[in-house]
Amino acid sequence: MVRDWTAVMPVKRLTAAKSRLRGAVPPARHADLALAMVRDTASAVLAASAVAELLVVTDDPVAAAAVAALGARVVPDRPGAGLNEAMRFGADEVAGPGRHRAVLAGDLPALRPDQLDAALTAARAGRAFVADAEGSGTVLLAVPPGEPLDPRFGPGSAAAHAASGARPLAGDWPGLRQDVDTPADLATVLGLGAGRHTCELLRDLGLEVACVSAA
Ligand SMILES: Nc1nc2c(ncn2[C@@H]2O[C@H](COP(=O)(O)OP(=O)(O)OP(=O)(O)O)[C@@H](O)[C@H]2O)c(=O)[nH]1
Ligand SMILES: C=C(OP(=O)(O)O)C(=O)O
């Protein structure tokens, strides 16, 4: 497998992140959960054979230090105009249009490197996306060298990405597709198995969850 992808992961300030997930764990652990999911997502991305570099777009100092320690390159959240602009900045400006680029959400604690490798292999031919498990959202948008990212994340983004000409990828990648927006999503992750950081936090809270190593 050729290691020629730049992965881009936007991360909102942890104190503001994952508002729809509030209540899934005690309030004092909410930011820890958001951080654990970011660390597990980053660990799985960095363990993927197709990924040459992980760029994390964030202004959060704790998340920045955590992903830098794992081997990611951190860039600031520019232009400070939300998720799509942060993705465009990371993919088109920092990584540059001459690379294979894939943007993905930072809330994929069940992500497995082999599933990401399979999706990136399927995405090589042209601009393509992976819909979330529910089918309406997007967990990954990929572009080959020379193409602008043109991200349309937000409610109904799977339809928006398809309408913009991106190809939906059809693989069986449950860990990649399972983003965690709500307490129900977190309950699904208990069954799928989570990466080490999310897993340890949930076990610490007395929940039964399988732990899966990223490597
Ligand atoms: N850099 C950056 N990342 C963002 C921004 N908004 C969302 N993200 C990240 O994009 C990914 C997907 O976002 P969402 O699932 O909507 O996460 P969220 O905004 O924390 O969740 P809610 O508050 O429940 O909407 C997560 O990794 C977020 O941290 C932003 O304005 N800037
Ligand atoms: C940003 C997205 O969704 P969510 O906030 O529901 O993860 C999306 O799926 O495009």
| Å from CA of 139 to ligand 2 middle | 7
Detail the DSSP E strand segments found in 138-201. Answer: 138-143, 167-168
The predicted pLDDT at position 110 comes to 98
Mutate to test the pocket of ligand 1, among 8, 9, 11, 12 (most ligand atoms within 8 A of CB): 12
The predicted pLDDT at position 165 comes to 98
Give the pTM: 0.97
Nearest CA residue ID for atom 5, ligand 2: 154
Mutate to test the pocket of ligand 1, among 77, 83, 180 (most ligand atoms within 8 A of CB): 83
> What three-state secondary structure class fits 136?
coil
C-beta 179 within 6 A of ligand 2: yes
| Å from CA of 132 to ligand 2 middle | 8
52 class by beta-carbon count within 10 Å (0-12 exposed, 13-18 middle, 19+ buried): middle
Per the annotation, binding residues are 138, 154, 157
As a whole-number percent, the residues of the chain with pLDDT over 70 amount to 99
Contact 107/186 with Cβ under 8 angstroms? no
Taking the CA atoms of residue 133, residue 62, residue 88 and residue 49 in that order, the dihedral angle to the nearest 10 degrees is: -60
The predicted pLDDT at position 213 comes to 73
Q: What is the mean pLDDT of residues 91-97?
A: 95
Write out the two tokens for 116.
């990401």
Q: Which of 65, 55, 69, 63 is nearest to 7 (CA)?
A: 55
Mean pLDDT score across all residues of the chain: 96
Confidence of residue 214 (pLDDT cuts 50, 70, 90): low
Confidence of residue 141 (pLDDT cuts 50, 70, 90): very high
Q: DSSP of 48-81, one letter per residue?
A: -TTEEEEEEEE--HHHHHHHHHHTPEEE---S-S
